[in-house]
Each structure stands twice: as C-alpha cells, then as structure tokens.
Amino acid sequence: MLTFVLRRLGILLLTLGLVTVIGFLLIHITPGDPAVAAAGPDADQATIAATRVELGLDRPLVVQFWEYTTGLVRLDFGTSFDGGRPVLDAITDRLPATLSLVIASLLVALLISIPLGVGTAVHRGSIWDRIGVLLASLGVALPDFFVGLVLVLVLALQLGIFDATGYVPLFDDPIQWAYLLVLPALTLGTTVAAELTRHIRASVSDVLELDYVRTARSKGLGSTRVILKHASRNAAMPVVTVFGNQIARLLGGTVIVEQIFSIPGIGQLLVQSVFTRDIPMVLGIGIFIAMIVLLVNVLIDLSYGWLNPRVRA
C-alpha cells in the first residue's frame, strides 16, 4: 500500500512539473506585452521599459522560469503585476467562494444522480427508467449550463424566488450563503448530474446481473442491503473515475458561473487577470487548479484500493 501511495505521489509531482512548463511557455509565447498592460494605459515608452525591468521581464526566459519554479517549491507563486500582491494570497482570499460553489454543485449533482441512477438501474425497463434515461440523455446532449440556465429563468425571472446574485461568506450569514448558492449550484450541478446518472445506471445495472449479487440475494439479505452493501461498492469503481473527471469539468465551469452570478471566486479572478495580462496571477491560478485536480485524482486512485481489495496487492 505504501509503495502504491508513493508511486502515485511521484506521478503527481511529475505531472505538476509538466503543467508548469507548458503553462509557463504558453503564456510567455502568446502575443501582447504584459509590461504595456502593467505600466498602465497612459504610460510612455520609458515607463514601459522601466516596468519591464522592474518586473524582470527583460531577462532570458530560462532565468525567469528557473526563478519561478524554485519559488513554487517554497509555495511562492510570485507577485501580481497588478499591485504587487502575492498571488497565493489573492487565490486563498477567493478560495472559500469557489470552494462553496464547487461543493454545493457536487452536492446537487450527487443528490440528483445517485437516486436517479440507482433507481433506474433497479427498475430497468420500467416507465420510470425510460423517463430517467431520457432526462439524463437530454442533460448530456444539451450544452453545458443549459438546463441550469433554464432553471434560473424559471425560478428567478418567472417565479421570483432565488432572484439575487452575489455571494456572502458562510460565517457572515449561513442562510444567505446557502440561499445565494442555490442557483449557481443548480446551473453547474445539473450538467454533471446528467453525466453521472448515466454512468451510475450503467454500472449498477451491470453489477446487479453479477453472480455475487445473486449469492447475496440467496442469503436473504434483503434488496436494500444487497444494493447498498454488495452492489454499490463494486458499481462505484467506474463511477468514481467519471466523478474525478467531472470535478475537473466543474472547476472549469466555475469560471463562467462565477461571472454569471457575480461570485468573487477564483474563476472571476482568472478572467480579470487575463484581461490585465497579469502573467503571474494567470499562471498561478492555472497551477493551483491543476494541483487540486491532480490531488482529487490521487484521492480517487486511493479510493480504488478501498473499493477493490485486489488493487491493494
């Protein structure tokens, strides 16, 4: 088990290094001069040149890269071009809002997909199964956020409930926090729910056909126990993989949803930083999000060991 974990962590670090290189090159190669942006709209040539030196942009790319990566190892993501604020500070400031959105969306996705996926699998071929499958296929086929945005239209604009946008920190006002998260979480969560439902249904109905489920039934365990204990753990394996991919998708989705609902999260910060050509900020956010995605994947890999004892060997 230990070597399994170490190997996973090794792969994680390697991937992270790769992400850094690619991100760094991509941003520095794209046209447009960050020094122009950093110097401000009315700056003359001299000011721009001075800014360039001040930000270290005049040095060779290799040197810049070396400084940046050695900083990363010390968890120093550099400082923002815009005001000189440490990038990590800016990110952690906005982390609670994004985290709230992501967790609420996951909750929505799971609360919809687990009952729907398991229910349709257990009652396969019934009218409820067909309705469930239809809904899930629609959700998958329609563009991201479409279902969520229709819900917004109905709930906010037609019915007038949940009609506010914005964000209130959890500890300031928990009720307002939850209230404001409902719509964005629905927008982000329903897309993921559709994808998960399809996978849960497929996986559970496959597992329900297996011999050991029949064995469990032959022991008189009762259908709830058969499904929850004997089927779910093995059915979870493929679903957990999809779940991991969906988390990456969800994090990407926050960029748009935070814009729509004026949530001061990391996604919003990213959009702003791109417009101001704030290279350290854009790169920092990219690497930070990559770190989270990779960490989630490691956790998911580890969960395989728990779900399936054969992986542990």
Partner 1 sequence: MNTDLVGQHVLDINHLTVEFRTVSGWSPAVRDLSLTIGRNEVFGLVGESGSGKSVSAMSILGLLPRRGTRIGGGHVRLGKTDLLGATSKQLDQVRGSRVGMIFQEPMTSLNPAYTIGEQIAESVRRHRGATRRQAWDRAVSLLSRVGIPTAARNAERYPHHFSGGMRQRAMIAMALACEPELLIADEPTTALDVTVQALILDLIAELRAESDMSVLLITHDLAVVSEVADRVGVMYAGELVEQASTADVFNAPQHPYTSGLLSSILALDSTREFAGIPGSVPSVDREFPGCRFADRCAFATDACTISPVALRRSAGRIHRCLRSDELVLEGAR
Find tokens 């070597």 and name the residue. Answer: 3
Smaller CB separation from partner 1, 52 or 230 = 230
CB of 239 to partner 1, least distance (A): 14
Going by C-alpha positions, the residue among 130, 140, 132 that lies closest to residue 116 is 132
CB of 228 to partner 1, least distance (A): 12
Q: Give yes or no for a contact between 279 and 28, defined as CB atoms under 8 angstroms apart.
A: yes
CB of 125 to partner 1, least distance (A): 5
DSSP 8-class letter at 84: -
Residues 16, 19: Cα–Cα separation, whole Å: 5
Q: Counting beta carbons within 10 angstroms of the beta carbon of residue 62, is it exposed (0 to 12), middle (13 to 18) or buried (19 or more)?
A: exposed
CB of 5 to partner 1, least distance (A): 20
CB of 209 to partner 1, least distance (A): 9
Smaller CB separation from partner 1, 7 or 312 = 312
Smaller CB separation from partner 1, 163 or 209 = 209
Residues 41, 204: Cα–Cα separation, whole Å: 59
The SS3 assignment for 222 reads coil
Find tokens 């990559």 and name the residue. Answer: 290
Going by C-alpha positions, the residue among 1, 4, 18 that lies closest to residue 294 is 18
Q: Give yes or no for a contact between 55 and 81, defined as CB atoms under 8 angstroms apart.
A: yes
Non-local (6+) Cβ contacts of 182 within 8 A are 104, 162
- CA 239 to mean position of chain CA atoms: 16
Smaller CB separation from partner 1, 232 or 246 = 232
**Binding footprint of partner 1 on the chain (CB under 8 A):** 124-125, 210-212, 214-223, 229-230, 233-234, 307-310, 313
Residues 281, 271: Cα–Cα separation, whole Å: 10
Q: Give yes or no for a contact between 82 and 276, defined as CB atoms under 8 angstroms apart.
A: yes
The SS3 assignment for 212 reads helix
Smaller CB separation from partner 1, 1 or 21 = 1
The SS3 assignment for 163 reads coil
Smaller CB separation from partner 1, 69 or 215 = 215
Smaller CB separation from partner 1, 29 or 313 = 313
Smaller CB separation from partner 1, 3 or 218 = 218
